Amino acid sequence: MAKIIPFKAVLPTRDKVHLVASRSYINYTKPHLKGKLESNPFSFLHIINPDFYIPKKVTSHNIKYDMVKEKYLDFLNRGYFYKKEEIGFYLYRQIKNGKSYTGIIAGASVNDYLSGKIKIHEHTLTKREKLFEAYLEHTGFNAEPVLMTHPHSDKLISIKEKITESRPEFDFSTTDYVQHQFWIIDKPQDIKAITKEFLKFNSLYIADGHHRSASSVLLAKDYGELQNDSLGINFFMSLFIDEDELNILPFNRLLSSIKPFSEYEFIEKVKEQFNEVIAIEGEFIGPTKHHEIGMYINNNWFLLKSKISEEAEKHPTKRLDPQILSDKVFENILGIIDIKKDKRVRFVSGTDGVKSIEKQVNKGLAKVGFALHGLNIKDVKLVADANMVMPPKSTWIEPKLRSGLVIYEF
């Protein structure tokens, strides 16, 4: 039985929402951020970068977090945001490249996380958890939902279809050609029906936002009143999407060096590790099924085919192509144990496709590139259900959410 709660959201005004909502701060280089801040006084980026124009860098995290809260209150006072008077759920739809994602924004339960009803598939770093906890403690709000997925539900599909027949509260497009739509769900019968449907789910799965959820849990534990479900701090804002709607793309890999091997020697070493290594003639669009990996080196694509043991095929992580690549190539050939820390390894989102790999290798920015086939939600759930974690950078999960579109004050 998964517990979710409606809440009184803080929302941008309708005339400014397209200017307020921003991509996650990690997507902006310093010059790009500077341009955004100078050209758009309403961007949520002003709230999370309150010290950008201060000549002397703010080195204290807590001082900066207090500045974030102050800037947020300034946006409220200026009327860029307003707070809903009634509790509600919120329906969000994102349309990108012809694919639609529709989910319900609600408060997820810290106690469900602690009891294992909310399942994870990634490790979190204690240092980052502590930083995010301090951020939450000083600011008192969530501004970007954790992305979660739930089992398919015809009932929820029906509710969402009914709600989307009405005019959305927000409907705007961003410069990355993504359309965003947003509805307020405040009718008591709809709130009751949605809450009741979630009680049927034994498990929910975090798709994206493991550190944000872990830090919310840490703060609630430190606060010490977990048994009190009337406290907003015992919940964290999440977007719940049907598992059939998630789009799971791969993270491809680049290697800057294959020393001590020449290109020819490296290819021969790879052939020793895989059942088949096939040179591709003509255009390569990427692997078409599991246990096939594309390798681009010296202006040529190769398809690496791997057969694994029946025992490994049943293992939640050993059967995954990112792990197979790490074991057979990075570790066995090059001695790379930790691909997240080794500077020879870089990651490329599957949204960029194989052309991005070709471009970087051809320019000499990488020596060899690997294209992986995307995993699916069953792969993710098998790992989470086994209380294990995915290999590093195994998935690029969409939709990617905007900050400042809806805010949960706790």
Averaged in consecutive runs of 10 residues, what is the pLDDT profile of the chain (410 residues)? 97 97 84 91 96 85 96 97 97 96 98 97 91 96 97 97 97 95 97 98 96 96 90 96 95 96 97 96 91 96 92 92 96 94 92 92 96 95 95 92 96
The reply to whether 301 and 216 lie within a common domain is: no
Q: How much is the pTM?
A: 0.92
Give me the domain span that covers residue 150. 4-247+398-409
Instruction: Go through 253-291 and write b for each residue having 16 or more CB atoms within 10 A of its CB, e for each that does not.
Output: bbbbebeebeeeebbebbeebbeebeeeeeebebbeebb
pLDDT for position 309: 87
Rounded to the nearest angstrom, the gap between the alpha carbon of residue 214 and the centroid of all alpha carbons in its chain is: 14
Query: How many CA atoms within 13 Å lie on the side-chain side of 151?
Result: 10
pLDDT for position 5: 98
Query: How many CA atoms within 13 Å lie on the side-chain side of 323?
Result: 15
pLDDT for position 93: 98
The reply to whether 120 and 18 lie within a common domain is: yes
The reply to whether 118 and 216 lie within a common domain is: yes
pLDDT for position 308: 86
At 306, give phi and psi (nearest 5°).
Answer: -125, 135
Residue 49 covered by a domain = yes
The reply to whether 138 and 277 lie within a common domain is: no
Residue 60 covered by a domain = yes
The reply to whether 230 and 113 lie within a common domain is: yes
The reply to whether 276 and 296 lie within a common domain is: yes
The reply to whether 182 and 297 lie within a common domain is: no
